[in-house]
Amino acid sequence: MTTDTVVMQTDLERLTERVEKAAAIVTQLRDERGRLEQERNELASKLEDLERTLQGNDAAALVQELGQLRKEQREWQTERRDVASRIEALVKKLERLDS
């Protein structure tokens, strides 16, 4: 084999690898697109269901409920920070015991 033939064969092998990788990526992207389209359709359906459900609700009651949920969220976040602080303190104590 001549040097040109070897170079062409190497270039052809590289091109083949690139084409195979590109084909795999295209297949993966198509699969992902299909999954995302399905997820979008499911979410659109859920949104329609929620919109139908909310049409009969009193706006003032929903605002009040939202306020209550936000308050509960703040309480949970505060409790979560407290628990994290306690865990951190316990870990430090354990590290000192291991030393």
Domain residue limits, the chain? 1-56, 58-99
pTM for the full model? 0.44
In tens, the pLDDT along 28-73 reads 999 999 999 999 999 999 999 888 887 777 778 888 999 999 999 9
Residue burial 68-92, b: 16+ Cβ < 10 Å; e: rest: eeeeeeeeeeeeeeeeeeeeeeeee
Q: Give the span between the Cα atoms of 35 and 25, in whole angstroms.
A: 15
- Per-residue pLDDT band for 1 (boundaries 50, 70, 90) equals low
